[in-house]
Amino acid sequence: MYAIVEIAGQQFKVEEGQKIFVHRLEAEEGSVVEFDKVLLIDNDGNITVGEPVVSDYVVDGHVLQHMRADKVIVFKKKRKKGYRIKNGHRQNMTHVEIVSIGPKGAPKKAVKKAEPKAAEPKAEAPAKAKKAAAKKAEPVTEEAPVKKATAKKTAEKKPAEKKPAAKKAAKKE
C-alpha cells in the first residue's frame, strides 16, 4: 500500500516504514505529525484518486530529526563582462518516518523510540587470559642484551666540492 501525499508544498510517494526528507516542519523532534492532503491511495491494486484530495484518509509520520541538506553552490557568470557571483545555500530539512497510512480515526501503531544501549564491558577471550597468566608466572631473569656482529659501518661522506664554472673560450668576432 502506498499513497501520494502533499507535504510542505511538495508531493511524495510514501509507504509505511519509509523514511523521507522534507522541507523543515514546525513539529518538534520525536513528535507525531499527520498529513491530511492525500492525493492518491493504492491499496493492493485498488486505486483511489482524490478530487483534489482523498477525504477521510490520513498519513501519520514520526519526526526523527531536524537537519540541513548538503551545500548547493550557485555560480553566475557573464562572459566578457567581468560579472561573477558565487553563493552557497543549505536547505533546512526534517527527517520523517512514515508510521501508517489509513482512514482518519483508525487505531494507530505505536512509535518505537530508540533507547540508548548500555555499554557492556567486553570479557577477554579465555586464550588471551591464559597467555597473560602464563607470562606473569614466568620468572624474570636479567641478561645483558646480545649485540649483533653484523652491524655495517656507514662510510662517512665528504661534502661535494664545488667545481669552477666553465668559461666560454670562444667569443664571436
Nearest 5 degrees, angle CA 52-CA 8-CA 16?
A: 80
Average pLDDT over residues 129-155: 56
- Provide the residue count of the chain: 173
Q: What is the Cα–Cα distance from 79 to 84, expressed in whole angstroms? A: 9
Model pTM score? 0.57
* 63, 29 contact by CB (below 8 A): yes
- Report the greatest alpha carbon distance in the chain: 109
Q: Kindly list the domain boundaries of the chain, sorted by start residue.
A: 2-64+94-103
* pLDDT above 60: residue 123: no
Least confident among 63-67, 95-99, 159-163:
159-163
pLDDT digits (tens, 9 = 90+) for 7-64: 999 999 999 999 999 999 999 999 999 999 999 999 888 888 988 888 889 999 999 9
